[in-house]
Structure formats: C-alpha cells, structure tokens
Amino acid sequence: MTQPAMSFKKDGQTINPLKIYTVNSKYILGVYQGSLSKFDMLLKYRQKNENKWSRIRTPKHIHWVVDILMKMQADKKVSDEFLNFLLGKWKKTKGFKNSKERISFLSNSENLMIEISKEEKKFNKMALKGEYSLKFLILVAELLMLQEKSNNPNAYMFKNLLESLKDGSDLFKIISIATHR
C-alpha cells in the first residue's frame, strides 16, 4: 500500500506539509506552517489500522499522555527513565529564531529519525502497552517541544506535563495540564 496524501483543505485552500516523516509502516506525520507565530508548527498524522489509513489527525497532548500512562503500567523504572530522557530533551531544546534554523532542522529529518531509532531501543519494554509506537511518541514530543519553544521561549507547559507524569501526580492534575488551552 502506498503512503497516503498528507495535504488537507482549510477554508477552501489546500494546505501542504513542510515536511513528512515516515515513522514506520503504521504512522506518518506531517509538519505544516502553524498560525501562532512565524515559526509555529502544526503537526498532523495518519495511522494505518487493518490496512486502511486514518483521516489526517492532530496529535493533542492528551493523546500521548494517555498512551504514556498506559505504557507506565508495563514497567515503572523504564517509564521513569523515559520521562527523564524527555525532560533532558526539553532542557536542551531551543526554539527556532529564524527561517534558516527551521529549514535546516526540517532538512535533516533522516538524521533525526536515525537518532530516534537508537533512542527508542532503550525503552523497548514500554512498547508492549499503549497505542503509539515509541518512535512516534519521541518524534511527536520533540516536535511539540520545538513548537512550544518557538512560539514562546519561556513556555513550560510541556515540561510541567512531563514532571507531573514522572512525579505520579493525580490523574486530574495530569489531564488538566494536558488539556489546558
């Protein structure tokens, strides 16, 4: 089966991706120009189930949070390591300051996917649970971090969400952070 289109219609206009990431045979993710800032990124993905591709979807924070909560049931120690890994990525992530930085990042997608493939192997016990592949979760997390920090260098919602998951905060708090607008 061939890869499905990742363009979509909005207000009568066709929106084409800036970049398409083929995560694996089950997930593809598109990066589009967002509307919040000059360097905002809108993420959309398609998922294959039973040889049929889903419609184009936007990954919300709550989607991957629920998946991580499910994965945490597989192995608490590995889950903590995974959350520490993501928090480490958060600390190192810098938002785009100009178009050249964003173009360079999106152009180096092969290197990013190679790096993510290596990283996911460290946490393979978590892959036994949940809906999403670890490779997909790491890619989405990295892009959401970039998106948040490109829109506001002082943003911290993503970090707060990771810390709440790691600290074992109550479900209400985690869901409140993940669904905050």
pLDDT at 181: 64
Residue 174 located in a structural domain? yes
pLDDT at 169: 80
Residue 60 located in a structural domain? yes
Residue 1 located in a structural domain? no
C-alpha torsion angle, residues 73, 74, 75, 76 (rounded to 10): -10
Report CA-CA distances (Å) from 18 to 31, 54, 111, 128: 6, 20, 17, 32
How confident is the model over 53-86, as pLDDT tens digits? Answer: 999 999 988 998 999 999 988 888 899 999 999 9
pLDDT at 153: 84
- Domain of residue 108, residue span: 8-178
Q: What is the residue type of 58?
A: T
Residues of the chain with pLDDT under 70: 1, 181
pLDDT at 168: 86
User: How many domains in the chain?
Assistant: 1
Contacts of 124 (CB under 8 A, 6+ apart): 134
pLDDT at 85: 96
pLDDT at 125: 84
- Give the orientation angle of helix 157-167 with respect to helix 171-178, to 10 degrees: 160
